[in-house]
Chains A and B, each alone.
Chain A
Amino acid sequence: MIFGYIDAGTGSLIIQVLVAGFAGVAAFVKFRWGSIKGRFSKEPKAEE
Chain B
Amino acid sequence: MIPRYASYRDPRSSVAAADSRVIRTFDEEGAKAFLAARSAGLLDDFQSRGLIPKYEVVSESPLRVTSDLVPFVSYPEEWTPEMLRDAGLLTLEISRIAWATGFHLRDATAYNIVFDGPRPLFVDLGSVGAGLTPLWTAYGQFCDHFLSPLLIDSHLDVPFNGLWNLEGISVDVAARLLRGSNRWRKGVLTNVTLRARLESKHSGDALEARHSTRRELSLSPLAVDGLMQKMERTLKALSFSDQSTWAGYEGDNSYDDAAETARDFAIQAFAEKTPHNGVAVDIGANAGRHSAVLARSFDKVVAVDLDRVAVEIHRQRLVAGDVRNVFPIVANMARPTPGQGFMNLERMDLLSRLKGANATTWMAVIHHLAIANGIPLAALARMAVEISPRHLIEFVDLTDPMAQLLSATKGGEHHDYSQPAFEAAFGELFRLTRLDDTIQGRFLYEAQV
Contacts and interface: CB of A to CB of B under 8 A. Distances in A.
B136 A1 contact: no
B194 A31 contact: yes
Contacts of A27: 194
A33 B10 CA distance: 42
Contact of A16 (B9, B136, B205): B136
A7 B107 CA distance: 9
Given A5-B167, A16-B139, A10 B198 contact: yes
B217 A13 contact: yes
A2 B137 contact: no
B109 A11 contact: no
Contacts of B137: 6-8
Contacts of B197: 11, 31
Given A4-B109, A16-B224, 7 more contacts: A2-B109, A4-B9, A6-B106, A6-B137, A8-B137, A10-B213, A12-B199
Q: Dominant SS at the A interface?
A: helix
A5 B106 CA distance: 9
A16 B135 contact: yes
Interface in B197-241: 197-203, 205, 209-210, 213-214, 217, 219, 223-224, 226-227, 230
Contacts of A3: 9-11, 107
B324 interface: no
B198 A16 contact: no
Contact of B217 (A2, A17, A24): A17
Given A15-B194, A20-B223, A2 B107 contact: yes
Interface residues of A, number: 28
A47 interface: yes
B205 A4 contact: no
A1 B112 contact: yes
A8 B140 contact: yes
* 10 nearest A-B pairs in the assembled complex, by CB-CB distance: A11-B198, A11-B199, A12-B140, A8-B140, A5-B141, A3-B9, A10-B202, A24-B190, A2-B109, A1-B10
Interface in A22-42: 24-25, 27-28, 31
A5 B11 CA distance: 14
Given A1-B9, A16-B135, A20-B227, A9 B111 contact: no
B280 to A, nearest CB: 31
Interface of A: 1-20, 24-25, 27-28, 31, 46-48
B77 interface: no
A36 to B, nearest CB: 11
B131 to A, nearest CB: 15
B7 A9 contact: no
Interface-centre pick from A1, A8, A25, A48 (highest chain B CB count, 10 A):
A1
Contacts of A11: 171, 195-203
Contact of A1 (B127, B191, B193): B127
Interface-centre pick from B9, B111, B166 (highest chain A CB count, 10 A):
B9
A3 B342 CA distance: 13
B82 interface: no
Interface in B134-182: 135-141, 143-144, 166-167, 171, 180-181
Interface-centre pick from B11, B111, B141, B223 (highest chain A CB count, 10 A):
B141
Contacts of A4: 9, 109, 141, 167
A46 B109 CA distance: 36
Contacts of A8: 135, 137-141
Given A2-B111, A15-B195, A10 B139 contact: no
A33 B193 CA distance: 14
A27 B195 CA distance: 11
